[in-house]
Amino acid sequence: MKMQLAEIAKALNTTCEGDEDTIITSVAFDSRKIAEGGLFVPLEGDRDGHDFVAGAISNGASASLWKKGHPNKPEGIALLEVDDPLTAMQELARYYLRKVNPTVVGITGSNGKTTTKDMTSAVLSKRFNVHKTQANFNNEIGVPMTILEMKPNTEILVLEMGMDRPGQLHHLSELTHPDVTVITMIGEAHIEFFGNRDKIADAKMEITDFLREDGEFIFNGDEPLLRARAKKLNQAKSTFGFKEDDTVYATSFKSYKHHATFTVNDSEQKFSIPMIGKHNVSNAMAAISVGRHFGESDEEIASSLSNFTPTANRMEWEKGDVGEDIMSDIYNSNPTAVRAVLSSFGQIEVANDSRRIAVLADMLELGDESADLHRDLSDALDPKVIHEVYLYGTEMKNLADALKDKYTPQTLHYYREDQMQKMISDLKDDIKPDDIVVLKGSHGMHLEKVVDRLR
């Protein structure tokens, strides 16, 4: 972005205290990441962002928002007084979005939204100037930040949109007015706050609340909850999945150690993605659907999908220190995601004397159903397929108890949350060079520490 403070002040319906001719080239809410020419946004959360304005100044900030009535106004920096800095940042993003006027693709789902965002961006970048959500900046702070970071020549904006409460996607849809919306699937993520999958589906559908009238809703057609709700929309609709009544469905797929291949119903093109598993083939079909919406050929789409780079910690393969292959999928976790990863992992061929070892940590935010949802994962684990299991965390004790009749004490290992170091030590003593290991758990369980020690 590149705007004078005077223009920003007008967009926010306020005045500038300082040089209104100052050129702003970036926006940041972290004072450590502010740059020269930057506008600092002092958000109020666990810490009051106003306390960090001095640090932003020392790091080169040219201006800052300031909440009206907040004491101790700083000197030496231009200020824009606003009622609420977060709301003001969102309003500035709304203004800048209208100014640049890209086509907007909004992507959500209980699982797969980040991977689908990366795939979609890669597909569209073949022919368009594309800006996408970085990392998982997908909430009421991250989405406006993503908008404000896009270049003026952006033609398509690919936004990941997350939610953990009703109304959140409604707000993000209203902010962005997407031209295309995608829902990857409905799972149990955040069921603690919603109670059941029906309410999760209702909340996910909010992404379509401000879908443009000439836009398109692309969704997982294998989910009855989405099919039923999609009937209420007047916009164009298309589906992807594994059933013959989907618009795009997989006619074959095969998962290898580091990639998967597949074909779809209405094309002779063979597709390959640098990720494994049926669930990632589903994500790829969502990206194919978006690419076709924008006129991409299947040949172009296939070329882009084969070379895209996924966001970190989504089914990444790494080498362990004794030579083992480690699949790290530790950004987040819920029952649907764990089942998908275990299914994909179980399909990978291993040598006769090597093993598939699963390291599973607690799935968080499952509420009153947490114990049952952990326990129910037992049917996704077969000792003939997943040869050894390491379970970590308070909730995983439920799964450990459920597996005692299937696994021997030598192949089933349980660790409390204060026993991570012991688990790491036991893993390092146990793993052999030809083994393959998968790690899956919610981000709050910090399995990245285990990956770092095994690496």
Task: Please check whether residues 129 and 265 belong to one and the same domain.
Answer: yes
Task: Please check whether residues 202 and 64 belong to one and the same domain.
Answer: no
Task: Please check whether residues 335 and 368 belong to one and the same domain.
Answer: yes
pLDDT for position 347: 86
pLDDT for position 193: 67
Res. 94: pLDDT tops 80: yes
pLDDT in tens, 34-48: 999 999 999 998 899
Mean pLDDT over each residue of the chain, to the nearest integer: 94
Res. 382: pLDDT tops 70: yes
Task: Please check whether residues 280 and 337 belong to one and the same domain.
Answer: no
Q: What is the mean pLDDT of residues 214-233?
A: 97
8 A C-beta contact, residue 229 and residue 201? yes
Confirm whether 52 is domain-assigned. Answer: yes
Res. 332: pLDDT tops 90: no
Task: Please check whether residues 373 and 332 belong to one and the same domain.
Answer: yes
Could you tell me the pLDDT band of residue 312, with boundaries at 50, 70 and 90? low
Task: Report the distance separating Cα 229 and Cα 156, nearest Å.
Answer: 27
Burial 136-163 (b: 16+ CB within 10 A, else e): bbbbbbbbbbbbbbbeeebebbbbbbbb
Task: Please check whether residues 260 and 142 belong to one and the same domain.
Answer: yes
pLDDT in tens, 60-81: 999 999 999 999 899 889 999 9
Task: Please check whether residues 325 and 408 belong to one and the same domain.
Answer: yes
Task: Report the distance separating Cα 84 and Cα 251, nearest Å.
Answer: 52
Q: What is the CB neighbour count within 10 angstroms for residue 37?
A: 16
Task: Please check whether residues 80 and 154 belong to one and the same domain.
Answer: no
SS3 state of residue 270: coil
Confirm whether 252 is domain-assigned. Answer: yes
Q: What is the mean pLDDT of residues 355-384?
A: 94
**Amino acid found at 185:** M
Q: What is the dihedral of CA 279, 282, 287, 291, to 10 degrees?
A: 160
pLDDT in tens, 111-155: 899 999 999 999 999 999 999 999 779 999 999 999 999 999 999
Give the percent of the chain with pLDDT over 90: 83
Res. 199: pLDDT tops 70: yes
Task: Report the distance separating Cα 189 and Cα 442, nearest Å.
Answer: 11
Judging by beta carbons within 10 Å of its beta carbon (0-12, 13-18, 19+), is residue 349 exposed, middle or buried?
A: exposed
pLDDT for position 111: 86
Confirm whether 81 is domain-assigned. Answer: yes
Q: What is the mean pLDDT of residues 291-299?
A: 98
Confirm whether 94 is domain-assigned. Answer: no
pLDDT for position 385: 95
Domain residues for 424? Answer: 316-454
Task: Please check whether residues 162 and 297 belong to one and the same domain.
Answer: yes
Confirm whether 245 is domain-assigned. Answer: yes
* Overall domain count for the chain: 3
Confirm whether 13 is domain-assigned. Answer: yes
8 A C-beta contact, residue 225 and residue 201? yes
- CATH classification at residue 162: 3.40.1190.10
- CATH classification at residue 33: 3.40.1390.10
Task: Please check whether residues 80 and 114 belong to one and the same domain.
Answer: no
pLDDT for position 45: 85
| Greatest CA separation for the chain | 73
pLDDT for position 426: 97
pLDDT in tens, 242-283: 999 999 999 999 888 788 999 999 999 999 999 888 999 999
Q: Six-digit token pair at 318? A: 């790494």
**Of 34, 57, 85, which residue constitutes the final position of a domain?**
85
Confirm whether 123 is domain-assigned. Answer: yes
pLDDT for position 189: 66
**Of 52, 85, 118, which residue constitutes the final position of a domain?**
85
Task: Report the distance separating Cα 205 and Cα 167, nearest Å.
Answer: 10
pLDDT for position 140: 96
Task: Please check whether residues 79 and 108 belong to one and the same domain.
Answer: no
Confirm whether 96 is domain-assigned. Answer: no
pLDDT in tens, 396-449: 999 999 999 999 999 999 999 999 999 999 999 999 999 999 999 998 999 999
- Calculate the alpha carbon distances from 385 to 317, 332, 355, 366 in Å: 19, 23, 9, 27
pLDDT for position 192: 62
**Of 44, 59, 85, which residue constitutes the final position of a domain?**
85
- CATH classification at residue 328: 3.90.190.20
Task: Please check whether residues 157 and 260 belong to one and the same domain.
Answer: yes
